[in-house]
């Protein structure tokens, strides 16, 4: 494994603006913010690898 730092600036706002209700195991964005930020950061990293 390799630890890759990914900036999360702007991700909370983007998740809040999502057109769908975000939830995991009955918890929403604010109740489980670390989970959603981690997922969004992984997506950001994946997108950067495709560029």
Give pLDDT, residue 19. Answer: 97
What average pLDDT is seen over the chain? 96
All structural domains of the chain with their residue ranges = 1-16+24-51
> What is the pLDDT averaged over residues 14-37?
96
Give pLDDT, residue 51. Answer: 78
Query: Model's pTM, two decimal places?
Result: 0.86
Residue 30 reports pLDDT greater than 90? yes
Judged by DSSP in three states, 31 sits in coil
For 50, half-sphere exposure in the C-beta direction (CA atoms, 13 angstrom radius) is 6
């Amino acid at each position: 494994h390799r630890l890759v730092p990914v900036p999360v600036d702007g991700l909370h706002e983007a998740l809040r603006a999502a057109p769908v209700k975000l939830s995991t195991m009955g918890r929403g964005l604010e109740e489980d913010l670390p989970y959603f930020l981690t997922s969004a950061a992984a997506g950001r990293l994946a997108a950067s690898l495709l560029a």
